[in-house]
Structure 1
Amino acid sequence: MTTTSGTTATDASAAPLPRRGVLPSLSGLLLGMFVSMLAATVVSTSLPVIIHDLGGDQAAFTWVVTATLLTTAISTPVWGKLADLVDRKLLIQLALVIFVLATAAAGFAQDTGTLIAFRAVQGLGAGGLAALSQVIMADILSPRERGRYMGLFGAVMAVATVGGPLLGGLITDSIGWRWNFYVAIPFAIAALVILQRTLHLPRRRRDRVSIDYVGIVLLAASVSLLLVWITGAGVSYPWWGVETALMVGGALLGAVLFVLVELRSREPLIPLSLFRDRTFTLSVVASIATGVAMFGTSVFLSQYMQMSRGASPAEAGLMTLPMIGGLLVASIVVGQLITRYGHWKPYLVAGSVLLIAGSSLLSTLRYDTPFVLVSVYMFLLGAGVGMTMQNLVLIVQNTARPQDMGAASSGVTFFRSLGGTIGVSAMGAALAASVSDLFASSQARLGAAIAGLGERGADVAAQLTSGTLPAVNTLPASVRVIVEDIYAQGISHSFLIAVPLAIISLIAVMFLPNRSLHRATTQERLAASEAGLATEAAGEAVAGSAAGIAATDAEASARRPRR
């Protein structure tokens, strides 16, 4: 039996998982998420050292991060759409393999260009893990039950997000930064084995599988042109000029063509019909600001700790713990409260307010800001991300049709990744321009400090004028204070970009429909939908049969001779 959407009805193996089967099925998913988070966070505190060793500048630093976020954003809706068409278990295993192999290959990079290329491939796998984990969770758990298991996901996040930067810093300080890219391989192998043995999902077959290849190309081209322009504008070329006209015009043209293709596609990459749902549309708007706060601030906070406070990679990992703590505490506590009481909107509103407060306060940082205040600012921002990030996906899954669950879930994740990608690019461009101007205006101070170093001054001057990121903690104290102040001002100014977006997020959240969370999983809702269609079809058949019998009786009666 097939539904009107072409999905083959599930067989006995598609029955919803019994509650006792939830934890084994989640185990492989949890380990897969741990691998992806560990591989990403273990490198975060080492990036300034990596870029310095490979001879890269601030633009290279930004693109090492942006390349991963860009391909993550572009591939997320592709993976989500595939999840509605083919075997989800196979897809998440494939995404994990791509992610880990690309991560390991990045460890062999000899220049920033090669590193950026492998990081881009890494993002392809990361997009699959981000999208498919949300879709599979909806297969296993209902929206109302999700918070009950947030403690497990919180524990995984705690080990990866806290342990990753610390482990990465220790590896960089003791062995070498390249080993950061290899550490996730044994965990990935274990995750693949456990996923194969424990994750049991129904096979959702389609009569015909159609992939929107043209939409994929247009989406990739549009987003890539926009990011290249944001990264280089004001540094490599003027804000207003031929380059800007070509790249911005090309991005807009690609976006228009993408919309036209999606309207005509049999299986659109991002079904535009989803935007008819106010919950989906407003969640997309709010997710963009969350992405900027989550990705942008975490990337540049690590750089702030090393470039403006003279911390080593390991110390930088420790110094960013307050933000991770705020994220974990908020996500776990709010998840439990949502499961217990069923209310979600107050926590989203509070989280959006905390995003505004945290972003605004971080824009006031200086190299000598008391670390207690820095910790409070980071905790507020982390709590805001923890209250909004997963819950925006949750409420979209609560209202989406079961047949569109993959596209809807990945759609929100896509725009969150896109917001993070654009945010990191914009913040990196603002940082590069600000640092360049501050170095120019501080020439007199730097010249006097370098002149007082005697013969060593030539080496210090060469490091500062080479165009590569300086190793700040190795500079003499008189020069280091000036450089730390320059980078602190540049990084704090870049945080201002997140503030207006956080305000827009709050407005979007305020207008979200306050719908109650249901207690059915995606598979249970799909089965109910198919049962409803079958009942309706059977009713029509019975009515048709009855009408046919009545017509036959009437015809026979008319043919009888009258007495």
Structure 2
Amino acid sequence: MEGIPVTAQDDARDDKTPSATAAGSAAEKVGLGFTHRQIMFTMSGLVIAMLLAMLDNMIVAPALPTIVGDLGGLDHLAWVTTGYVLASTVATPLWGKLGDLFGRRIVFVSAVALFLAGSALCGMSQDMGQLVAFRAIQGLGAGGLMVGVMSIIGEMIPPRERSKYQGVMMAVMPVSMIGGPLIGGFITDNLSWRWAFYVNLPLGAVTLAVCWVTLGKLPKGAGKARIDWLGAALLTVWITALVLITSWGGSQYDWDSAQILGLVALTVIGFIAFVIVQGRTAEPIMPLRVFKSRNFTLAGGVAFVSGFAMFGAMGFLPQYQQFVQGSSATNSGLLLMPMMLGAMVVSLGAGALISKTGHYKWVPVAGASLVTVGLGLFATLDTGTSKTVTALYMVILGAGMGGMMQTSTLIAQNSIEMRDMGAGTGASNFLRSMGSSLGVSLLGAVYTSHLTHSLTSAGAAGQSVDASVSSMTPAALKQLPEAARHLFQQAVTDGITALFTWGAIVAAVGVVIAFFIRQEPLRSGAKPEAPKADAEPVPVAG
């Protein structure tokens, strides 16, 4: 394969030179000089990496009730996901910037390796504390998977053509989102929940090998450069403090307690310091200039809401399905299929329409509206709601998610320069991850609070059930007397409906945000870089 031009100037030179134009046509050039064959070859590695990232989330969800029952600690249920998402959130912009500086391949492969190390450690956990800590390590690697895939695609393919090739990436969704819960449920029912983590290892080994080969044609980075470690540290401080506020406030500590007020102060001070550092450092992990684009900022808001809604639905629906509807772990995975199919169909359909027409504004508006309706419908669940009814609600929610997730990254990447592709994509994914992290912690706190309140308000009978909540499993629930079992199922339902009520309110805010996105032309080539005189120098470590 020939060398791959990557700059806007090279792209413009191809347009002006007849021989280059003819050669590009003959080679089916797309975007910045990649042929269709080169793109498909490179994307083969990305598809496997995307499958790895998606399978992890989907496999673990059906196993959570059994994990909590085995290791104990219902209060730590949300942190199994929160620890993962929080670490991923903090790491995402750093991985994106590292890719800009040192090239996508080495950074992306390093993220995969760290993810696999965390997976192995999770499988060996002996208590909930260890599992949460190892999930954080896994999350640090996962932060580089999604931003790596999106940055690589963003660098290879211009926005107007990108939706066509995103269809290839979407082909992995039915495998991961439908197969993941099935695999996770089967593992939980027939093997051990630990294999929900070990299963990542063989797939990850293939990912490492394939990506090292297929990503070899990507442009190399600038070489040695100063890393914004201070910015990364400040980002970690204020994000962690914010998540602790949402997790501990009103449950472990009163909202006006010294601990919560101290965390609030730490969040505010850390955030202000982070913004100051990002504005003054030469190579910030999150360049503030990308937020000068109205569409970039609004697309980030849509990404935040989509992350909040998605993890709220995926993380806690299995609780209702297994404890209230009586489904096994395997069947609870199957019952999530309508949501996944709805997301897949809408994502593929919206991508095809956007690529054909260039119009995208209606997609996030419609998606956020459907998510709001879907979450609102889930807020009406009771202990007698049938699986058919919940499946219909899932189709609506899934369709909305497909619309929101399909366009938020596309709009964000269309609004930034190529020099900021990694950092800008990282910032967009950071906002989605932050929404997921806050969504899991906030909605998890709402769920636990309403569940325990429902039991304690039921009197002595409820309090006796509450004493065994931390180690409750679907199998243990079946051994309880009918009255006690009904009390616990009602408490789970109360927690679930409260959770989805708040989720619907947040999704409604997403509708408003999406409405203000401007319809701007999708680029057919690279966004022109800033003039050389205005470009920021890349300091080289001495």
Q: TM-score, normalised by structure 2?
A: 0.89
* Secondary structure at 1:27 match in 2: helix
Distance in 2 between the 1:126 and 1:16 partners?
29
Distance in 1 between the 2:262 and 2:41 partners?
52
Q: Is the 8 A contact 1:7 1:205 kept in 2?
A: no
Match of residue 498 from structure 1: 503
Q: Is the 8 A contact 1:48 1:469 kept in 2?
A: no
Distance in 1 between the 2:492 and 2:320 partners?
7
Match of residue 356 from structure 1: 372
Match of residue 451 from structure 1: none
Distance in 2 between the 1:507 and 1:218 partners?
30
Distance in 2 between the 1:392 and 1:416 partners?
9
Distance in 2 between the 1:481 and 1:207 partners?
62
Match of residue 48 from structure 2: 31
Match of residue 73 from structure 2: 56
1:508 aligns with 2:513: yes
1:166 aligns with 2:188: no
After superposition, give the CA deviation of every residue in 1:201-258 in whole Å (9 maximum; x if it has no partner).
Answer: 3334427512111111111111111111211111211122211111111111111111
Q: Is the 8 A contact 2:8 2:529 kept in 1?
A: no
Q: Which amino acid aligns with 1:271?
A: P
Distance in 2 between the 1:467 and 1:48 partners?
11
Match of residue 402 from structure 2: 386
After superposition, give the CA deviation of every residue in 1:36-56 in whole Å (9 maximum; x if it has no partner).
Answer: 211221111001101110012
Question: What pairs with 1:201-350 in structure 2 (closer than 5 Å)?
Answer: 201-206=217-222, 209-350=225-366
Query: Deviation at 1:497?
Result: 1.8
User: Equivalent of 1:179, from 195, 208, 221?
Assistant: 195
Distance in 2 between the 1:235 and 1:533 partners?
54
Which segments of 5 or more consecutive residues in structure 1 lack a partner in the other structure?
1-5, 448-460, 535-563
Query: Deviation at 1:310?
Result: 2.2
* Secondary structure at 2:222 match in 1: coil
Query: Deviation at 1:464?
Result: 4.2
Q: Which amino acid aligns with 1:153?
A: M
Query: Deviation at 1:422?
Result: 0.4
* Secondary structure at 1:497 match in 2: helix
Distance in 2 between the 1:256 and 1:7 partners?
35
Q: Is the 8 A contact 2:325 2:387 kept in 1?
A: no
Q: Which amino acid aligns with 2:472?
A: P
* Secondary structure at 1:311 match in 2: coil
Q: Is the 8 A contact 1:150 1:331 kept in 2?
A: no
After superposition, give the CA deviation of every residue in 1:261-309 in whole Å (9 maximum; x if it has no partner).
Answer: 1111111121111111101111122221111111111101122212222
After superposition, give the CA deviation of every residue in 1:519-552 in whole Å (9 maximum; x if it has no partner).
Answer: 22xxxx27x759x979xxxxxxxxxxxxxxxxxx
Match of residue 475 from structure 1: 479
1:19 aligns with 2:19: no
Larger Rg: 1
* Secondary structure at 1:288 match in 2: helix
Distance in 1 between the 2:250 and 2:404 partners?
33
Query: Deviation at 1:475?
Result: 3.2
Q: Is the 8 A contact 1:289 1:498 kept in 2?
A: no
Q: Which amino acid aligns with 1:516?
A: P
Match of residue 393 from structure 2: 377
* Secondary structure at 1:45 match in 2: helix
Query: Deviation at 1:199?
Result: 2.2
* Secondary structure at 1:85 match in 2: helix
Distance in 2 between the 1:484 and 1:467 partners?
11
Query: Deviation at 1:9?
Result: 9.5
* Secondary structure at 1:266 match in 2: coil
Distance in 1 between the 2:522 and 2:216 partners?
25
Query: Deviation at 1:474?
Result: 2.5
Q: Which amino acid aligns with 2:283?
A: E
Query: Deviation at 1:200?
Result: 3.4
After superposition, give the CA deviation of every residue in 1:104-162 in whole Å (9 maximum; x if it has no partner).
Answer: 21001000000000000011111000111100011222212222233322221111111
Match of residue 145 from structure 2: 129
Q: Is the 8 A contact 2:99 2:221 kept in 1?
A: no
Q: Is the 8 A contact 2:102 2:223 kept in 1?
A: no
Query: Deviation at 1:469?
Result: 4.0
1:114 aligns with 2:116: no
* Secondary structure at 1:517 match in 2: coil
Q: Is the 8 A contact 1:109 1:115 kept in 2?
A: yes
Distance in 1 between the 2:423 and 2:331 partners?
40
Match of residue 117 from structure 2: 101
* Secondary structure at 2:254 match in 1: coil
Match of residue 543 from structure 1: none
Q: Is the 8 A contact 2:379 2:501 kept in 1?
A: yes
> Which 4+ runs in 1 deviate beyond 6 A?
6-10
RMSD in angstroms over aligned alpha carbons? 2.3
Question: What pairs with 1:419-458 in structure 2 (closer than 5 Å)?
Answer: 419-444=435-460, 446=462
Match of residue 72 from structure 1: 88
Q: Is the 8 A contact 2:92 2:426 kept in 1?
A: yes
Q: Percent identity between the aligned chains?
A: 34
Q: Which amino acid aligns with 2:190?
A: S
Distance in 1 between the 2:344 and 2:471 partners?
32
Distance in 2 between the 1:80 and 1:391 partners?
19
Distance in 2 between the 1:481 and 1:115 partners?
31
After superposition, give the CA deviation of every residue in 1:391-435 in whole Å (9 maximum; x if it has no partner).
Answer: 111011112111111111111110111011001100111111111
Distance in 2 between the 1:320 and 1:469 partners?
25
Query: Deviation at 1:495?
Result: 1.3
Q: Is the 8 A contact 1:71 1:123 kept in 2?
A: yes
Q: Which amino acid aligns with 1:425?
A: S
Query: Deviation at 1:326?
Result: 1.1
Q: Which amino acid aligns with 1:100?
A: L
Distance in 2 between the 1:179 and 1:385 partners?
29
1:367 aligns with 2:367: no
Match of residue 489 from structure 1: 494
1:42 aligns with 2:47: no
Alignment length, in residue pairs? 506
Q: TM-score, normalised by structure 1?
A: 0.86
Query: Deviation at 1:343?
Result: 1.3
After superposition, give the CA deviation of every residue in 1:6-57 in whole Å (9 maximum; x if it has no partner).
Answer: 99999x9x97211222111100011011112112211110011011100121
Q: Which amino acid aligns with 1:471?
A: T
Q: Which amino acid aligns with 1:475?
A: Q
